[in-house]
Structure 1
Amino acid sequence: MTHNIIEYCLKKNGATKDYPFGFDPLVIKIAGKMFALIFENKGNSAYINLKCDPVIAGNLREQHESVRPGYHMNKKHWNTIVLDGSLPESDIYLMIDHSYDRVVQNLPKSLRQTIY
């Protein structure tokens, strides 16, 4: 599952991978800004941190046990999703899309135009 998620993130326009914190996590960025952090070496399950609208973040946490406040992140704006198979990949892809879009929307207009 983790491989598919990494591939999906990297297919986003302008997405790059980086390891600014060492071996783990893998950080996926757009224009130097993080939109996904993937922790593959945390016990039995991998995790992904994704940026999220605060209201949506709260709703997702209430609806899904595998969605938690962002691990080592601003818990208001980031969620951690446990990649344990309890959520369909399609749902995780929608969360990745949302995270990517939130980061891109906050980029300067001139930079956004080069991405889309």
Structure 2
Amino acid sequence: MDTQNLVHLADDYARSFTAVTADHSMGIGWAAYKLHGKVFMLVGEVDDKATVIVKADPIRAAILRGQFEEISPAHRMSKRHWLSVVAGKFITKALLHREIKESYLLVQASLPQKRIRNVGQPAHKGISRRQLQPLARRLATELPGVSRGRPFVEKLDVYKVVNKVFLIITDDPGEPIITVKTDPGQIETLCEQYENVTPGRYLDKHHWVSVEGGKGVTRELVEELIKQSYRLALKAVPQRLKPPV
């Protein structure tokens, strides 16, 4: 990704979230993107390089700094809680969008509860209870190295990558849910933000969430949760066994 695309994509995606404002309160040459007055992204120049600065969980921040040479401790902000991102060959649109969204969610979680209820994701069309499971099945089977079966009970349709579970679809008309693996630090925020997301129904509630179609649940959210669950499952797989992606 080049510098022009970095700035354009960051600006466009940040503005797609509801209740977001942008101003220059952080100084000349810096655009500050805020949610109810709280900064979740800065865009400006550091050492003559266009830079996007976002908030991150300290552990996540440390991991990302170790993985990507284009990601470093943030300029102007707390180096433990904020990241600077510059353009480079390893910075993709998906990665940039993910980190902006994570920053937005962290700031959102710090808002008073009455404000959180009024803040949503970008205005994408929601999916119904009836649409959720067919969508999840299609998204899961498109991923490399996926197998499926019913190893637990007949009503649980289980999807694995190299024998690691990443998706469970409940075939029960009274409980049309999917269950996916997620980062423990995201569970509370997801459950607060989406009334149809709850701690995992069958597995460790500190690492899994269950999702039902309906208010606020979009195709984009379901796709992101399934892909994230797939990636988390793959972390436990030896490199030599991982499917080509």
The unaligned stretches of length 5 or more in structure 1 are none
- The 1:42/1:85 distance shift into structure 2, 3 A limit, reads farther
Check whether the contact 1:67–1:80 (CA below 8 A) recurs between aligned residues. Answer: yes
The unaligned stretches of length 5 or more in structure 2 are 121-245
Letter in 2 for 1:26: A
Q: Which has the larger radius of gyration?
A: 2
1:72 to partner: Cα distance? 1.0
Check whether the contact 1:46–1:84 (CA below 8 A) recurs between aligned residues. Answer: no
My pick for the range that moved more, 92-101 or 82-91, is 82-91
% identical equivalent positions: 28
| Partner in structure 1 of residue 153 of structure 2 | none
Check whether the contact 1:24–1:41 (CA below 8 A) recurs between aligned residues. Answer: no
Is residue 33 of structure 1 aligned with residue 33 of structure 2?
no
What's the CA shift string for 1:50-91, capped at 9, x where partnerless? 000000000000000011011111011000011235311110
Letter in 1 for 2:102: H
Q: Distance in 2 between matches of 1:11 and 1:42?
A: 29
| Partner in structure 1 of residue 135 of structure 2 | none
Q: Distance in 2 between matches of 1:17 and 1:84?
A: 25
Question: 1:6-85, aligned counterparts within 5 Å?
Answer: 6-40=11-45, 42-43=47-48, 45-85=49-89
Give the CA RMSD over aligned residues. Answer: 1.4
1:21 to partner: Cα distance? 2.6
Q: How many residues align?
A: 115
Q: Distance in 2 between matches of 1:71 and 1:23?
A: 15
Check whether the contact 1:33–1:103 (CA below 8 A) recurs between aligned residues. Answer: yes
Equivalent position SS for 1:20: coil
Q: Runs of 4+ in structure 1 displaced over 6 angstroms?
A: none
Higher relative contact order (CA 8 A, sep 6+): 1
- The 1:15/1:85 distance shift into structure 2, 3 A limit, reads farther
Selected match of 1:114 from 95, 114, 118? 118
